[in-house]
Amino acid sequence: MKLILFGNIETWNDAVSFLANHRPDVQIVGLCSLDLGPYADSNATVTLRQALALFKDGLIDGILNSNGENPYYFQLLEELGFHPIYTMPSYLLQQELDGSLLSKEPYIYPYLEVKPELMQLEFHLADHCNLNCKGCTHFSNLVTEPVFADITQFQKDIKRLSELFSHIRHFYLLGGEPFLNPDIHTFIAAVKASFPYTQIIIVTNGLLLLSIQPAVIDMLRKHQAHLSISDYNCLDHDKITRFVREHQLSADLRIEKEEFYKFLNPKGDSDGSAIFEQCSRKNCTFLDKGRIAACCLPFVVKYFNQSIPEMEGIDLYQPDLTGHQIQRQLIRPMELCRYCSTDVPYTWEISKPPFEKEDWCV
């Protein structure tokens, strides 16, 4: 079988060497990407237009998307007229590394014939926070009482997701402040039980990091969970760095003050498609009590309460729902996108009640 390998340049090598080892009958006759960058003049690369011409002339059997979790790529390849489009599950590379790769598998599949992968999923372990950033995009500074995730509902939803998706590439546990949840290790275990190859990323402001319990530290290490620490100028960098090193944790400490953005238009008269197109949060797929959406807004805007519709999102328990249907919906604008606007940046600061709606509204 002759295929063109399509995907981000950095995925090419792994895919080519995996296929050479496990599918020597598959011949990769060209490497293709939306942007060929420094390889544009290489004999090994082809543009999408050239790949399509090869396909239409019957010189290749199809195209293989090496970023198998990217629904935008599948949509583009479909619209251009490639058929079949093949996918290679991204967890195969991890299975190859840890020795759990099953033999006698095809390893590459027509993508509609297998469960798709999700690029990323976000989940709130706590809606509230121990820091009150002005204009928090998750509205955590408006959550006046502790609001924790329910582990029973979470376990049920994760199990349901595993029926719909073969893999979730990046699983973000955040909030609010995720370390406020005393059961964080139980949530980590639940994620890994259903999605063993997912990369868990815990997004934290770091304020509780030095006091986390040994059981949590063990769980972080055991599952190689990554700590993404947003430092809003409140942390002792040396202590945090030492702590991370001593406990052999994976972490990045973003010490620059982050830029914050206003982005809401409560009038709801924005061009939803145009706003969605340029939205930097549209791939922050969010899970909340049996529903998922392209971002957290449908589930957290209730804390803002300015007549913006709530609870839009895909019901995971609809009968006959497939992962592919979810993927297609996630890359389309929601009704709610009309209530967003072009981001307007401002400098981060702590805020105190009473909060101004202008902290969020453009």
Tokens for 203, please give them.
């997004």
Nearer to ligand SF4 by Cβ, of 168 and 275: the residue is 275
For ligand SF4, which stretch binds (CB under 6 A), given 47-55, 146-154, 171-179, 245-253? 171-179
CA 54 to chain centre: 33
Residue 129 interacts with ligand SF4 (CB under 6 A): yes or no? yes
Q: How far is the CB of 57 from ligand SF4 (least distance, A)?
A: 40
From candidates 116, 176, 313, 323, binder to ligand SF4 by CB under 6 A? 176
Cβ-contact 138, 125 below 8 angstroms:
no
In 3-state terms the chain splits into helix, strand, coil percentages (rounded to 5) of 35, 25, 40
SS3 4: strand
Residue 142 interacts with ligand SF4 (CB under 6 A): yes or no? no
Q: How far is the CB of 289 from ligand SF4 (least distance, A)?
A: 18
Side chain identity at residue 358, one-letter code: E
Residues near 79 by Cβ (< 8 Å), separated by ≥ 6? none
Q: How far is the CB of 243 from ligand SF4 (least distance, A)?
A: 19
From candidates 15, 220, 295, 330, binder to ligand SF4 by CB under 6 A? 295
Distances (CA, A) of 310 to 18, 69, 224, 271, 293: 45, 28, 35, 19, 11
Q: Using CA atoms, how far apart are residues 70 and 57, in angstroms rounded to an integer?
A: 27
Query: Within 262-291, which residues bind ligand SF4 (CB under 6 A)?
Result: 275-276, 279, 281-282
Q: How far is the CB of 237 from ligand SF4 (least distance, A)?
A: 17
Size of residue set near ligand SF4 by CB under 6 A: 24
Query: Within 48-87, which residues bind ligand SF4 (CB under 6 A)?
Result: none
Q: Using CA atoms, how far apart are residues 93 and 90, in angstroms rounded to an integer?
A: 6
Q: Using CA atoms, how far apart are residues 68 and 225, in angstroms rounded to an integer?
A: 22
Q: Using CA atoms, how far apart are residues 212 and 125, in angstroms rounded to an integer?
A: 15
Q: Which residues pair with 263 in a beta bridge?
A: none
From candidates 30, 68, 116, 175, binder to ligand SF4 by CB under 6 A? 175
Cα angle 270-276-282, degrees, rounded to a multiple of 5? 140
Residue 138 interacts with ligand SF4 (CB under 6 A): yes or no? yes
From candidates 161, 168, 229, 294, binder to ligand SF4 by CB under 6 A? 294
Convert residues 186-225 into a mask of x (bound to ligand SF4 by CB under 6 A) and - (unbound): -------------------x--------------------
Tokens for 66, please give them.
């090496």
Residue 177 interacts with ligand SF4 (CB under 6 A): yes or no? yes
Nearer to ligand SF4 by Cβ, of 28 and 279: the residue is 279
Residues near 124 by Cβ (< 8 Å), separated by ≥ 6? 138, 149, 174, 175, 176, 178, 288, 296, 300
* 165, 168, 172, 173: CA torsion to nearest 10: 60
Nearer to ligand SF4 by Cβ, of 136 and 235: the residue is 136
Q: How far is the CB of 283 from ligand SF4 (least distance, A)?
A: 9
For ligand SF4, which stretch binds (CB under 6 A), given 161-169, 172-180, 214-222, 249-257? 172-180
Residue 134 interacts with ligand SF4 (CB under 6 A): yes or no? no
Nearer to ligand SF4 by Cβ, of 149 and 294: the residue is 294
Convert residues 309-338 into a mask of x (bound to ligand SF4 by CB under 6 A) and - (unbound): -------------------------x-xx-
Residue 3 interacts with ligand SF4 (CB under 6 A): yes or no? no
Side chain identity at residue 98, one-letter code: D
Q: Using CA atoms, how far apart are residues 179 and 211, in angstroms rounded to an integer?
A: 10
Residue 136 interacts with ligand SF4 (CB under 6 A): yes or no? yes
Neighbours of 177 (CB within 10 A): 22
Binding site for ligand SF4 (CB under 6 A): 129, 131-133, 136, 138, 140-141, 175-177, 205, 275-276, 279, 281-282, 294-295, 297, 334, 336-337, 340
